[in-house]
Structure 1
Amino acid sequence: MTAEETPLESKADLNAELQALLVRAYENGVDVEGAFDCRNGVEHPDWDVVVTEVEKNGSE
């Protein structure tokens, strides 16, 4: 963790961090849809992350 990073302590924190990451990538032309393998070495579990665009409801 770098000095600028804040610790994630809840699912809400994780969601906010993921939202910020996805928006930043999208605004920089990265295709964020699809599946991503997150391999993390022996100390941490590996994850498979799937990102799909969802239709906005009328209130957003």
Structure 2
Amino acid sequence: MEDPQLNVTDETTFETLLTELLRTAHENGIAVEGGWDVDGDDGHPDWDVVVTVVERAADD
């Protein structure tokens, strides 16, 4: 059974859920920087996911 909270039907929802996932992992001490191979299975493509920390200049 699919989780209705993971019903991603547009890019905005995808970005919102991805942001929540990364923030929650970080808050729980999980190192989210790096790369992962995601096996698509069941006719879906395979993905290579890379997460990097972005250093931004502080607002003056």
User: Normalised by the shorter chain, which TM-score bucket?
Assistant: 0.7 to 0.9
Give the aligned partner of residue 28 of structure 2: 28
RMSD (Å) for aligned C-alpha atoms: 1.5
> TM-score under structure 1 normalisation?
0.81
Aligned residues between the structures: 58
> As a proportion of its length, which structure holds more helix?
2
- Hey, what's the Cα distance between the residues in 1 that align with 2:6 and 2:18? 13
Unaligned runs of 5+ in 2: none
Partner SS for 2:20: helix
Aligned-pair distance for 1:34? 0.5
Instruction: Tell me: CA distance 1:7–1:42, structure 2 relative to 1, closer, same or farther (3 Å).
Output: closer
AA aligned opposite 1:48: D
> TM-score under structure 2 normalisation?
0.81
Report runs of 4+ in structure 1 exceeding 2 Å deviation: 56-59
